Amino acid sequence: MLGRKKEADKTKDLPLHIAMIMDGNGRYAKLKRRPRVHGHYEGMQNVKRITRHASDIGIKYLTLYAFSTENWSRPSAEVSYLMKLPGDFLGSFLPELIEKNVKVTTIGNMDDLPKHTIKAVAKAVDDTKDNTGLNLIFALNYGGRDELIQSFKSIHQDINDGKLKAEDIDDTLIQQYLMTYNIPDPEMIIRTSGEYRLSNFLLWQSSYSELFFTNTLWPEFGPDELDELIIQYRKRDRRFGGLNDKEV
């Protein structure tokens, strides 16, 4: 296992950015014969464990898919509980995040969230804005297709306003209009609970991400399993459409 940052550096560098689809809270609660909100509570406790570990081993960016644009279709009581979690989580965890030099940021349409959620997240973002350690990025009310639609609309508006020309559009320009414009693309995307899809998560940014799927439910996904997946990542040959030295 990786353990400390020093141990992690023995072979090759850690991934700069890990993104995680935290799936399986509801199934965890069902297995425990508890309400679904119990699974979400335990899932948020696991966010603390994984964040601590990612910070300790030297991960620079950790993006967590906390609430998607599609999650609004869930029962209203469940949505209300999910909207309380950021405040509860940050209220109890923010001092430790500050101590660990973690910087909190978000992607997604924050304006559509309840005021109490926006307030809690805004405080965490402001209180940690000068931190230089792990960048903890919460995807809240986020959807990959929605992100692309918004970026294309903004590009179209800037063309109409004379700020851009159509021939200026390339992958670099589109990147500048995304919610992740100042965040490197993830090298690793991990999905828990045995599902094999991205579910509208970082569609543009995942073009060359290494994908990892585990049957482990999110509340039970621990640091040891994260370490094991990082070890697997190191063994992969990342060619980005080209050839490696042996194939030339």
pLDDT in tens, 9-60: 443 579 999 999 999 999 999 999 999 999 999 999 999 999 999 999 999 9
Distance CA 13, CA 244 (A): 19
pLDDT above 70 for 5:
no
Residue 12: the pLDDT is 56
H or E element, residue 184: none
For residue 110, what is the DSSP state?
G
What mean pLDDT do residues 205-228 have?
A: 98
Query: Is the confidence at residue 8, as pLDDT, over 60?
Result: no
b/e code 204-240 from CB counts within 10 Å (16+ = b): bbbeebbebbbebbbbbbebebbbebbeebeeeeeee
- pLDDT by residue (tens digit) across 85-142? 999 999 899 999 999 999 999 999 999 999 999 999 999 999 999 999 999 999 999 9
Q: Which residues in the chain belong to E strands, given as ranges?
A: 17-21, 61-68, 103-107, 135-142, 188-191, 210-213
What pLDDT, on a 0 to 100 scale, did the predictor assign at position 238? 78
Which H, E and C letters describe 48-100, residue by residue?
HHHHHHHHHHCCCEEEEEEEECCHHHCCHHHHHHHHHHHHHHHHHHHHHHHHC
Q: Which of 56, 71, 127, 200 is catalytic?
A: 71
User: Catalytic: which of 23, 46, 141, 185?
Assistant: 23
Active site residue 227: no
**What is the pLDDT at residue 11?**
39
Task: Give dist(CA 17, CA 11) in Å, integer.
Answer: 18
Active site residue 101: no
- Which tens digit of pLDDT belongs to each residue from 129-169? 999 999 999 999 999 999 999 999 999 999 999 999 999 99
